[in-house]
Structure 1
């Protein structure tokens, strides 16, 4: 029997790529950079950041929806990617400022004086002027881009190897990932962490050497880069889950003991998907924070990773497009509610301010989806396409034990 081509086996990939390309084209045409101005520069940045959140949601769906590993620490990798690229952006931008300010000196400044001036500008806020060791490669864009992948990937590899070789699973693994995230956030909050403590890295939206280029154009560049990264990430994730590797991941999710009994290296599969998704999350973060303009340790707090799991659950875990839908939906609705665009509701004795009540609404949505629509928003596509659930002969529909079971097969 001739095996169908990859695209023929995954028609949803072409549909997704077409929708993404159309979306990017429309935003480009109606942006301020193209002269129409129907979409403001700030909203173009919001859309670009949303695409990055969709990419990290795909990573979360791979590790949770397909492999059954509820990681409550993947947003830490997202933040680390932002810190790695943020160091170069802040160093290069500060260097331009320092060199310009010293240009009129009677005696040309030495390299040591320039570096000292950069250190004073960056670390003066935490009472220091010396460059920490972790800034050793901040002068090189190439090296910092390598670190965007290497640092989160190495952290995930070491953590995953220690956890999976000990066969930690379920809620215990989730607690461990959350503890890792909390420890990292608490370390970064310290002024002697080398990353400016609670102040974080700021001014990341100012690209070095691009002073003459308007923010409208720069925001469009990042939108294109984010769209390209999302397209590549979605294509890679589709390739992973559509082959034998994806079948083994789903087998681990549904019955880990049986997969191990069949001779598969369960720990190896888990470690690979955990590390790869950490790298994907880091790439998404490296594109997100230059658009946000600032990153601080609060971005890595455990609550951020919990939000990520909520997005995937609302969109529909175990469906790549569901993760994208969930992240995009929550991100845009959150911007609408917290941006002051929704009018407050005066009740006489109390005024409902949606900026304060948005998180309550998000939590309630998560509970309702879990109880009444476990397939999430993505499950609506099953109704539209009349997609039928596979006959599993009474086995759990998963990905968790105790999920609703189908009736036993007739034979």
Structure 2
């Protein structure tokens, strides 16, 4: 069993469980109320971002594929579940309004009322074909995985079979993300254009439950998803599959000459991590309450790569720690909680300077601590890098060496 075989996995799961329990006991719904509902939502969203960082670490830190488009699939997962949330909640409101009419409303009248409420903001009264299954929760949950998964599979198949690698692949994923975002900004895209989807925090059928309770439920769901992500990532990276994708990262040509289907492995890990990001997004946006095309812009995926780099790529716990630390710091600095710094000749307002601070942190980690925050865990665990000699066989930290002879 993985948990017995790998103590680090057990430690991560225990820490996650303790974190979730502590947040629950200090919440307004089930505890002392020391943590407000807004903070509980922030913690839940942070766990979702940590799951996305875990996926990014698998595809970049282990497979060497620097994707600058994974947050686009994160947002697509949010759009898929957001369609059901908005459709079902609007349906409840329309049905309650029409219930007072002398003649009971038909299903078609309710559907037309929903279309007018949802798309009236973009000047339409018809539901587009993209909303064909919006009234079915099982179908929309399936689409959370299917739409990003199929999109990623087609994109990856075209890119990897053409052997697009390195910076060219990163630029291609970034261009794909930008094109998708610009399309969603259009009012005729079928997703309400710049308005996006709103009111997602109102869960259909649970309107009698306060947000304090719902926020804790989503915190639990996010924690379970992250725990399953830990287990899946550990299983993938510790077996043969993990050995092959690390070998592809270090020396793709040699792996191909050994007879492995490099494109198949890259396509598999790319598609799988995209689906993990989509699940994270489907849990994130009901807690955020709104999603719009700005969430798909390339800068979001760049931030994701920065989190992984700061945490330490090629280390699952490092990527997760990086996402959690940077996300919480970002909420603190940009939420107005950090006091301004008065230098006498200039007053630093962290709301404006947070991105500069994040950029400096990324540069410092890249130059002075390539292993990021994961190096701190190594020090605490008493782990030291082996004294290895010889020419690197790969460009990444941890790549095999030509020889390991004593000096």
Shorter-chain TM-score bucket reads over 0.9
Are residues 69 and 76 of structure 1, via their aligned partners in 2, closer, same or farther at CA, if it must alter by over 3 Å? same
Aligned partner (choices 181, 185, 193) of residue 197 of structure 1: 193
Q: CA deviation at 1:297?
A: 0.4
Deviations, residues 295-351 of structure 1 (Å, cap 9, x unaligned): 000001000000000000000000000011000000000000011011122344432
Deviations, residues 227-281 of structure 1 (Å, cap 9, x unaligned): 0000001100000000111011110011111111111111110000000000000
What is the rounded CA distance, in whole Å, between the counterparts of 2:386 and 2:71 in structure 1? 33
Are residues 199 and 96 of structure 1, via their aligned partners in 2, closer, same or farther at CA, if it must alter by over 3 Å? same
Q: CA deviation at 1:394?
A: 2.2
Stretch of structure 1 that moved more, 104-113 or 236-245: 104-113
Are residues 258 and 31 of structure 1, via their aligned partners in 2, closer, same or farther at CA, if it must alter by over 3 Å? same
Aligned partner (choices 174, 195, 200) of residue 178 of structure 1: 174
2:100 aligned with 1:118, yes or no?
no
Are residues 157 and 185 of structure 1, via their aligned partners in 2, closer, same or farther at CA, if it must alter by over 3 Å? same
Are residues 392 and 188 of structure 1, via their aligned partners in 2, closer, same or farther at CA, if it must alter by over 3 Å? farther
Aligned partner (choices 206, 212, 234) of residue 208 of structure 2: 212
Deviations, residues 6-53 of structure 1 (Å, cap 9, x unaligned): 334421000000111111111111110014101111000000000000
Q: Is the 8 A contact 1:316 1:374 kept in 2?
A: yes
Structure 1 SS opposite 2:135:
coil
Q: Is the 8 A contact 1:391 1:409 kept in 2?
A: no
- Stretches of structure 2 lacking an aligned partner (at least 5 in a row): none
CA RMSD of aligned residues (A): 1.8
Structure 1 SS opposite 2:385:
coil
2:87 aligned with 1:81, yes or no?
no
2:224 aligned with 1:228, yes or no?
yes
Structure 2 SS opposite 1:394:
strand
Residue aligning to 2:52: 56
Aligned partner (choices 319, 322, 325) of residue 323 of structure 1: 319
Q: CA deviation at 1:102?
A: 1.1
Aligned partner (choices 32, 38, 41) of residue 36 of structure 1: 32
Residue aligning to 1:245: 241
Q: CA deviation at 1:371?
A: 0.3
What is the rounded CA distance, in whole Å, between the counterparts of 1:77 and 1:37 in structure 2? 35
Q: CA deviation at 1:158?
A: 0.3
Q: CA deviation at 1:162?
A: 0.3
Residue aligning to 2:162: 166
Residue aligning to 2:41: 45
Are residues 359 and 177 of structure 1, via their aligned partners in 2, closer, same or farther at CA, if it must alter by over 3 Å? same
What is the rounded CA distance, in whole Å, between the counterparts of 2:389 and 2:368 in structure 1? 23
What is the rounded CA distance, in whole Å, between the counterparts of 1:229 and 1:395 in structure 2? 40
Deviations, residues 138-197 of structure 1 (Å, cap 9, x unaligned): 000000000000000001100000000011100000000001100000000011110000
TM-score normalised to structure 1 length: 0.96
